């Protein structure tokens, strides 16, 4: 495949084939079981082939299909191991790669969005992309800075949006919402429709590279003097092209998830959490795309553990009042104190529990355990097993927590904050990181350290 498919009918047909493919493989599997094959072996084979088709299709289509796949990828740690094992390779592959678009298309995009004289500034461009994601791909280049007396050149990352990405993004997300049953075999218990609805609401922001450049520039300035976290500065921007300083990095956090030492997991896990909560305090914005491919490992000059670079500011929550809601920290502190009655009262005040909806305060406290437990100790270890237990507990239709979830409401102002927090917990569980979560919240989450 060489370019983003533009015809909605062709893309829809490929997405529509996902549930049909699963149904066909299930029927074949049933026939094999009748023929005497071991049921577990047949089920594993069906899951494997379903994963291959699902994530290959999502990755190749790019657009909203791949964006959806990337969001799902951070939830891999919540799956039961017997389901996660066949899918892990396909899920993590979405975090770092996708098929490239032709060089001619890249150059056409540069001419359209940086001007016909772009070669006078971008004096060298690598023809092969260094990275590809849901709506664009990145090339390495060298930028001639005419503002300096010596005509200095610097390495840059050139992010180019796929032609037709906006149309494909929205079309895919609409189709995925209709075809949620095709994803159900991969993520049982996960409610797909609200997830897709939130992605649809944020799609316009992610397509606007001027808006992304504004957010990245603010983060780059805020973290300019940080000893351990690097955000590349913005060099130039057009409607569908974004040029930033280059980060010299061979690996992302996906590599640490696969092969990292205990020291690396804890180090980068802590940096990730610090970035997540310090960012809103310094910029009034929340980086809301916590998948491993966006967090890069920078080499250390002394051979030790390197700094962490952060990329992709297309999905950013511009926070009301320029900060994380103070109620978030205050309610989390109340939950830590096990004051369930005050917790319910605070949740009602913020709109999480509607008027006249009756809930069991003790059950509410239990339901919020995934958010509360990490803040209850000096250092918390996130694991796949812990994440899996939390996910299964609140998504089991037979459980009291599941019944409670149907009564709760997620206010619009908290939608992206909630998804980011859940995604962050998922990524930390993949890392298996031990981090000083409570200390970081006391330093950077408004309302948490108050008595």
Is residue 199 in some structural domain? no
Task: Check residue 183 and give its pLDDT.
Answer: 57
Is the residue at 55 inside a domain? yes
Residues 53, 104: Cα–Cα separation, whole Å? 29
Contact assessment for residue 172 and residue 199, using Cβ atoms and an 8 Å cutoff = no
Instruction: Categorize the per-residue pLDDT at 236 as very low, low, confident or very high, splitting at 50, 70 and 90.
Output: very high
Return the DSSP state at 290: -
How many Å apart are CA 451 and CA 444, to the nearest integer?
15
* Kind and range of the H or E run holding 332: helix 326-336
In angstroms, the CA 29 to CA 46 distance is 7
pLDDT at 210 over 70: yes
User: Would 309 be classed as within a structural domain?
Assistant: no
pLDDT of 342 strictly over 60:
yes
CB atoms within 10 A of CB 314: 29
What does DSSP say about strands 308-310 and 229-230: parallel, antiparallel, or unpaired? parallel
- In angstroms, the CA 287 to CA 244 distance is 17
> Does residue 232 sit in the same domain as residue 135?
yes
Is residue 92's pLDDT more than 70?
Answer: no
CATH of residue 139's domain is: 3.30.200
Would you say how long the chain is, in residues? Answer: 451
User: What is the structure's pLDDT at 423?
Assistant: 87
240-295 residue pLDDT tens: 999 999 999 989 998 999 999 999 999 999 999 999 999 999 999 999 988 888 99
Residue 336's pLDDT band (cuts 50, 70, 90)? very high
Rounded-to-integer distance, Cα 105 and Cα 112, Å:
11
Beta bridge partners of 295: 310
Ramachandran area for residue 145 (φ above 0: left; ψ -120 to 50: alpha; else beta): beta
- Is the pLDDT at 149 greater than 70, yes or no? no
Residue 5, pLDDT > 50, answer no
Please tell me the distance from the alpha carbon of residue 333 to that of residue 171, in angstroms, as a whole number. Answer: 42
Same-domain check for residues 176 and 93:
yes
Q: What is the DSSP string of 385-404?
A: HHHHHHHHHHH-TTSHHHHH
Answer whether 94's CB lies under 8 Å from 69's CB. Answer: yes
Q: With respect to residue 357, please indicate whether it lies within any of the assigned structural domains.
A: yes
pTM recorded for the entire structure: 0.78
Query: pLDDT (tens digit, 9 = 90+) per residue, 161-187?
Result: 988 877 777 776 777 666 655 555 555
* Mean pLDDT, the chain, integer: 80
58 and 131 part of one domain: no
Say which residue the tokens 């006249």 belong to: 356
At 307 the pLDDT is 96
Q: Is the pLDDT of residue 313 over 80?
A: yes
Instruction: State the pLDDT confidence band at 69, using cuts at 50, 70 and 90.
Output: low
Provide the pLDDT confidence category of residue 195 given band limits of 50, 70 and 90: low
pLDDT of residue 402: 79
Q: In this structure, are 140 and 112 located in the same domain? A: yes
Q: What's the pLDDT tens digit per position in 283-293?
A: 999 999 888 88
Check whether residue 347 and residue 438 sit in a common domain.
Answer: yes
pLDDT band at 3 (very low <50, low <70, confident <90, very high): very low
pLDDT in tens, 12-51: 555 555 544 443 333 333 333 344 444 444 444 544 555 5
Residues 392, 338: one domain? yes
Give the pLDDT of residue 39.
46
> Is 285 a member of any domain?
no
Together in a domain, 54 and 91: yes
**pLDDT reported for residue 42:** 40
Please indicate whether residue 377 or residue 62 has the higher confidence score (pLDDT): 377
Helix (H, G, I), strand (E, B) or coil at 124: strand
Percent of the residues in the chain that have a pLDDT greater than 70, as a whole number: 70
Question: Is residue 301 included in any domain, yes or no?
Answer: no
Number of domains in the chain: 3
Domain that holds residue 379: 324-444
Strands (DSSP E) found in 273-397:
285-287, 295-297, 308-310, 316-318, 380-381
Query: What is the per-residue pLDDT across 21-30, written as a single tens digit (0 to 9) for each?
Result: 443 333 333 3
β-partners of residue 153 are 144
The lowest-confidence range among 231-240, 274-283, 352-361, 435-444 is: 352-361
Shared domain check, 231 and 82: no
Q: Mean per-residue pLDDT for 393-421?
A: 83
Give exposure, 237-246, as e/b (b: 16+ Cβ within 10 Å).
Answer: bbebbbbbbb
Q: Check whether 404 has a pLDDT greater than 70.
A: yes
Both 116 and 239 in one domain: the answer is yes
Same domain flag for 229 and 175: no
Confidence (pLDDT) at 13: 57
pLDDT confidence bin for 401, thresholds 50/70/90: confident
CA 185/CA 196 separation, integer angstroms: 17
Report whether 345 contacts 382 (CB < 8 A). Answer: no
CA atoms within 13 A on the CB side of 370: 25
Same domain, 128 and 90: no
Structural Rg of the chain based on CA atoms: 23
Cβ atoms 308, 271 nearer than 8 A:
yes
Q: What is d(CA 264, CA 254) in angstroms, rounded to the nearest whole number? A: 12
> Do residues 78 and 158 share a domain?
no
Establish how many alpha carbons lie within 13 A of residue 252's alpha carbon, considering only the half-sphere containing its beta carbon: 19
């Amino acid at each position: 495949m060489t370019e983003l498919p533009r015809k909605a009918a062709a893309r829809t047909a490929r997405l529509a084939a996902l549930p049909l493919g699963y149904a066909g493989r299930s029927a074949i599997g049933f026939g094999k079981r009748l023929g005497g094959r071991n049921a577990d072996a047949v089920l594993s084979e069906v899951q494997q082939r379903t994963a291959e088709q699902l994530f290959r299709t999502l990755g190749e289509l790019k657009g909203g299909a791949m964006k959806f796949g990337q969001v799902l990828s951070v939830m891999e740690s919540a799956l039961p191991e017997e389901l996660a094992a066949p899918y892990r390779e396909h899920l993590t592959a979405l975090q770092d790669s996708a098929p490239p678009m032709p060089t001619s298309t890249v150059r056409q995009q540069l001419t359209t969005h940086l001007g016909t004289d772009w070669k006078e500034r971008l004096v060298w461009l690598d023809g092969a992309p260094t990275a590809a994601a849901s709506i664009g791909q990145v090339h390495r280049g060298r930028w001639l800075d005419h503002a300096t007396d010596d005509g200095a050149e610097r390495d840059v990352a050139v992010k180019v949006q796929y032609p037709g990405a906006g149309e494909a993004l929205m079309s895919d997300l609409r189709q995925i919402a209709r075809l949620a049953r095709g994803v159900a075999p991969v993520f049982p218990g996960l409610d797909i429709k609200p997830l897709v609805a939130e992605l649809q609401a944020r799609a316009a922001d992610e397509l606007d590279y001027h808006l992304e450049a504004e957010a990245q520039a603010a983060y780059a300035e805020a973290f300019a003097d940080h000893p351990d976290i690097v955000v590349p500065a913005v060099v130039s921007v057009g409607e569908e092209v974004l040029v930033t300083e280059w980060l010299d990095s061979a690996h992302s956090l996906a590599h640490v998830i696969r092969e990292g030492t205990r020291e690396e997991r804890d180090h980068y896990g802590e940096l990730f959490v610090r970035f997540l909560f310090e960012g809103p305090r310094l910029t009034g914005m929340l980086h809301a795309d916590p998948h491993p491919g966006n967090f890069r490992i920078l080499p250390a000059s002394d051979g030790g553990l390197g700094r962490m670079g952060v990329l992709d500011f297309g999905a950013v929550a511009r926070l009301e009042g320029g900060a994380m809601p103070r109620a978030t920290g205050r309610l989390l502190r109340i939950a830590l104190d096990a004051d369930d009655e005050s917790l319910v009262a605070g949740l009602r005040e913020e709109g999480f529990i509607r008027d006249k909806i009756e809930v069991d305060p003790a059950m509410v406290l239990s339901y919020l355990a995934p958010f509360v437990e990490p803040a209850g100790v000096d250092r918390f270890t996130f694991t796949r097993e812990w994440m899996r237990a939390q996910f299964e507990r609140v998504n089991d239709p037979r459980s009291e927590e599941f019944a409670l979830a149907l009564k709760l409401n997620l206010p619009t102002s908290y939608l992206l904050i909630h998804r980011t927090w859940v995604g962050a917990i998922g990524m930390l569980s993949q890392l298996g990181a031990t981090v000083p979560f409570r200390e970081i919240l006391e330093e950077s989450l408004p309302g948490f350290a108050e008595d």
